[in-house]
Amino acid sequence: MSHLERSTSGRSALALGLLLAAGLAPCGLVASPAAAKADVVASGPCRGAPDSTWKLKVDQEANGSLTVTAAVFSDDTDEWGWKLKHNDDVSAKGTVTARDADRSFRVARSMVDFTGPDEIVFRAGNKDSDEICRGDVTFNG
Domain range spanning residue 69?
A: 37-139
- Same domain, yes or no: 2 and 57: no
The confidence score (pLDDT) of residue 43 equals 97
Q: Are residues 4 and 72 in the same domain?
A: no
Domain count for the chain: 2
- Exposure on the CB side of residue 117, measured as CA atoms within 13 A: 8
What is the total residue count of the chain? 141
Please provide residue 26's backbone torsions phi and psi, each rounded to the nearest 5 degrees. Answer: -65, 135
Give the CATH number for residue 80: 2.60.40.3880
Are 4 and 41 members of one domain?
no
> What's the pLDDT tens digit per position in 30-55?
333 343 456 899 999 999 987 899 99
Closest CA to 48 of 23, 80, 26, 24: 80
Asked if 58 and 127 sit in the same domain, the reply is yes
Q: What separation, in Å, do the N-terminal and C-terminal C-alpha atoms of the chain show?
A: 46
Contact 82, 104 (CB under 8 A): no
Q: Is 10 helix (H, G, I), strand (E, B) or coil?
A: helix
Whether 27 and 51 share a structural domain: no
pLDDT, tens only, 60-103: 999 989 999 999 998 878 899 999 999 999 999 999 988 766 77
pTM: 0.71
Q: Are residues 86 and 43 in the same domain?
A: yes
Banded model confidence at residue 13, pLDDT cuts 50, 70, 90: very low
